[in-house]
Amino acid sequence: MKLLIDTCNVLHRTGVLPPDMAGIDEESLADLIRGSRYRNHKSILVCDGNPRNLSGNLRGHSKGMIQFKFSGQAQSADTLILDLVSASNSPKRLVVVSSDREIQVLARRRRCQIIDADRFLAQLTHDHQSRSGTGKHVRTPRDLPEREVDEWINQFGIDEDTAALPRGGNLEHTEKIIEEQAQRTRPPDEPATEKSGTPSEDQPQDWTSKINEAEALLDSEDDDEQGR
Span 12-33, pLDDT tens digits: 998 899 888 888 999 899 999 9
- The enclosing domain of 90 has a CATH number of 3.40.50
Q: Is residue 87 part of a domain?
A: yes
- Judge if 87 and 156 occupy the same domain: no
pTM of this prediction?
Answer: 0.56
Top mean pLDDT of 51-55, 118-122, 127-131, 176-180 is at 118-122
Per-residue pLDDT at 205 exceeds 70: no
- Judge if 101 and 19 occupy the same domain: yes
Mean residue pLDDT of the chain comes to 76
- Judge if 161 and 84 occupy the same domain: no
Report the number of distinct structural domains present in the chain. Answer: 2
Find the length of the chain.
228
d(C-alpha 179, C-alpha 197), whole Å: 16
Residue where a domain stops, chosen among 132, 158, 176: 132
Q: Is residue 210 part of a domain?
A: no
Per-residue pLDDT at 135 exceeds 60: no
- Judge if 46 and 89 occupy the same domain: yes
Top mean pLDDT of 26-35, 58-67, 168-177, 205-214 is at 26-35
In the 3-class helix/strand/coil scheme, how is 121-157 assigned residue by residue? HHHHHHHHHHHHCCCCCCCCCCCCCHHHHHHHHHHHC
Per-residue pLDDT at 221 exceeds 80: no
pLDDT of residue 159: 60
The conformation of residue 72, written as its DSSP 8-state character, comes to B
pLDDT of residue 21: 87
pLDDT of residue 79: 96
Q: Is residue 109 part of a domain?
A: yes
- Residue 33, judged by CB atoms within 10 A of its CB (0-12, 13-18, 19+), counts as buried
- Judge if 23 and 64 occupy the same domain: yes
- Residue partners of 182: CB distance under 8 A and separation at least 6: 192, 193
- Judge if 13 and 119 occupy the same domain: yes
- Judge if 161 and 86 occupy the same domain: no
- Judge if 11 and 77 occupy the same domain: yes
* φ/ψ bin of 44: left (φ > 0), alpha (ψ from -120 to 50), beta (otherwise): beta
pLDDT in tens, 54-112: 555 555 556 679 999 999 889 999 999 999 999 999 999 999 999 999 999 999 999 99
- Judge if 112 and 80 occupy the same domain: yes
- Judge if 149 and 105 occupy the same domain: no
Buried b (16+ CB within 10 A) or exposed e, 197-211: eeeeeeeeeeeeeee
Q: In which domain, by residue range, is 176 found?
A: 145-188
- Judge if 162 and 119 occupy the same domain: no
- Judge if 157 and 47 occupy the same domain: no
Residue where a domain stops, chosen among 107, 132, 157: 132
Q: Which residue has the higher pLDDT, 217 or 27?
A: 27
Q: Is residue 198 part of a domain?
A: no
Please spell the DSSP secondary structure of 76-113, one letter per residue.
-HHHHHHHHHHH-S-GGGEEEE---HHHHHHHHHTT-E
What backbone torsions phi and psi does residue 60 show, to the nearest 5 degrees? Answer: -80, -5
d(C-alpha 109, C-alpha 87), whole Å: 13
Average pLDDT over residues 158-187: 58
d(C-alpha 128, C-alpha 37), whole Å: 10
- Residue partners of 4: CB distance under 8 A and separation at least 6: 44, 46, 81, 84, 85, 94, 95, 96, 97
Q: Is residue 49 part of a domain?
A: yes
